[in-house]
Structure 1
């Protein structure tokens, strides 16, 4: 009787669950719990963010283990090779970023005179339109483009500080890589006890692997075309801007702008507004053609979140996990979506608000084609 009374509502408002707690109150409790969880994550962001990054990288490289085992490599050797591959990935990315930022810091002071000339040209243009710039000329003495070198060195310090976590990350990867040998047996046990949980983890592994691989491949393609275009136009530090374009490709929505602004500014100081406009148009064409027209055909439903949620997740995870949160925005959102929403019957309705595909019908599973049964041969006399 009590249960029937709790369920008797107008349009579901005030519906209570089995414990008798009204659903609106449950919403408040869940929101309060999320706030506490986010505050806790922010306090341990320096530990959680690198570990989560390492977990996703180990998942991404895990198919290599299967290939090595198929080639009859011992388990310990397959784990060691997987570990070496992950370390090489970390060294190449961090090393390339550190080298590029160092080159930028060394080159910036050389553009002080070019900046002053550009500033004078801008003031002259404004005077032609009747703008009083008498007080603006004194501002130039307060602007020192060499001060941007300090900012670049600050970025370099942030990059090198990542190496201070290499001890923790290295130990994490070692345990994850060698524990991967028993991952299949553990997942079989989980699947037998909790099939829904096993499906959620398998779905997340597949999607995050597809995301990292596709994003990396197309990031390299975009960076390659950017470097070639910059070399043809004669823009200095072309390789530096190529590395920046590759790294910023992992940041959703605003990554393109982050990779675009520095080469446009350098082109403006080096060759004037015409070259800066040419760089901006070239970047926009390359980005539109590759990342808008071609890349979605390969990504498919790798992430499965719409553009608005991707942008909100960038702001959210960057505020919770710091700069590394911008890099992990899509994988972290993907983990929450797949594990807590897609495979939870009570929360699946929320997936309709964040999914990239508005169709809520389950996709039919592909079935193996069965061989046609040969027609029966009738045997007649004569």
Structure 2
């Protein structure tokens, strides 16, 4: 018998069957849509998500203290209580120093209103010589009042005082997290049994964010002390306030130095003239280049593991999603995404190659290099 051959035209775009992974274009659309939805959710809940994420990273950073105490045969509850007090001490130091700096700033800035008006009048005179209309000059002069010098600082102070209810929530969450941290190794062991890549991502994130916070804090203190010494030599008022500001802005990548140098340079200009202001800029620039640009990256090393361009983009993205606190959390939040979604994922290895600062080193375990090409083995 002769077999009958039926020529069936293949469907150029067959529908994916159940359990089959969608094709690259459709999968990319799903990823982008999911990222947009998650970003909108984060932005709407930023006032809660950002402080809680900060607390989680602080708990992770202080966790080795508990392990050390338990290893020295301290009772588990006592080790957790000491860890809890250490976390509260860190939060108190950070918030207390910021409140102290803002209060000093609000009380002192109005004293420089006459000097500010004099500099403004000189600037307006130069603007008039450049051909700017008299009416525009008068409108600009009327819009800038001496009382507006302390406006941003007063707004920040009211924002800090208005977040007391959120602070109570954070204090309560820290209690649970501190006492639950002792069982985290057991939880990771359970996750490792079914999802080893996710467990490895959590461990990787914990190690990196802990090293990042410790190294950044140490170098932030070094920079703050050096800045205070420089400001004392120059004779700039509120030197302790500017030292606190330099310490806090050290956590902000790329633009933290600019945010830290503008206020003391402005005060130096109002108090002593152009010479002290230029001296402040020079001192801050030299300290930033030597400490933060040359020395600090040698110690952070693999803790960050993202390129400078991605660090700046992460600052923009997380500040947009999480607000002001997102600028401080830009690097930890990016490390979280990178550790859990990119580092151990073969399909996302091409994204990780664009994000990481060491593309040859940060290759997923399921990817091997053959000649000039990278081949997935998973």
Partner of 2:181: 180
Q: Measure the CA separation in 1 of the matches of 2:178 and 2:139.
A: 60
Return closer, same or farther for 1:349/1:142 CA change in 2, 3 Å cut-off: closer
CA distance in 1, matches of 2:253, 2:242: 18
Give me the TM-score of the superposition, normalised by structure 2: 0.87
Q: Secondary structure at the match of 2:254?
A: coil
2:236 alignment counterpart: 235
Partner of 2:343: 342
Cα distance in structure 2, aligned partners of 1:183 and 1:210: 19
Q: Contact conserved, 1:253 with 1:311, CA < 8 A, in 2?
A: yes
**Aligned residue number for residue 355 of structure 2:** 354
Give the Å deviation of 1:277: 0.8
Q: Is the 8 A contact 1:97 1:159 kept in 2?
A: no
Query: Which residue does the alignment assign to 2:300?
Result: 299
- Is 144-153 or 81-90 further displaced after alignment? 144-153
Could you tell me how far 1:201 is from its partner in structure 2? Answer: 0.8
What SS is found at the alignment partner of 1:232? Answer: helix
Q: Distance in 1 between matches of 2:60 and 2:354?
A: 28
**Partner SS, residue 145 of structure 2:** coil
Per-residue CA shift, 1:232-269, capped at 9, x if unaligned? 11101000011011111111111111111100111111
1:225-374 matched pairs, under 5 angstroms? 225-360=226-361
String of CA shifts for 1:289-329, please: whole Å, max 9, x gaps: 00011101100011111111111111111111111111111
Partner of 1:90: 91
How many angstroms apart in 2 are the aligned matches of 1:270 and 1:305?
41
Gaps of 5+ in 1: 365-382
Counterparts of 1:114-263 in structure 2 under 5 Å? 114-125=115-126, 131=131, 134-135=134-135, 136=137, 139-263=140-264
Deviates more, 1:199-208 or 1:34-43: 34-43
Q: Is residue 123–residue 133 contact of structure 1 (8 Å, CA) maintained in 2?
A: no
For residues 120-162 of structure 1, the C-alpha deviation after alignment (integer angstroms, 9 at most, x for no partner) is 33345556x6646744266434421212323211011222234
Q: State the match for 2:370 in structure 1.
A: none
Correspondences of 1:8-47 after superposition (within 5 Å): 19=20, 21-47=22-48
Residues 210, 302 of structure 1: 8 Å contact kept: yes
Give the distance between the partners of 2:140 and 2:337, measured in 1 at CA: 49
Separation (CA, whole Å) in 2 of partners of 1:211 and 1:320? 22
Aligned length: 354
Post-superposition Cα deviations, 1:326-379, rounded to whole Å, max 9, x if no partner, equal 111111111001100111121122100011113257599xxxxxxxxxxxxxxx
8 A contact 1:98–1:160 mirrored in 2: no
Given that 1:79 and 1:178 are in contact with CA atoms closer than 8 Å, whether structure 2 keeps it comes out as: yes
* Shift, 1:230, TM fit: 0.5
| RMSD between aligned residues | 2.4
Residues of 2 paired with 1:24 and 1:258: CA distance? Answer: 42
Higher mean alpha-carbon deviation, 352-361 vs 247-256, is at 352-361
Per the TM alignment, residue 83 of structure 1 is displaced from its structure 2 partner at its CA by: 0.4
1:223 Cα deviation after fit = 0.5
1:53-132, aligned counterparts within 5 Å?
53-125=54-126, 131=131
C-alpha distance 183-360 of structure 1, shift in aligned 2 (>3 A): closer
The whole-number CA distance in structure 2 between the counterparts of 1:306 and 1:20 is 31
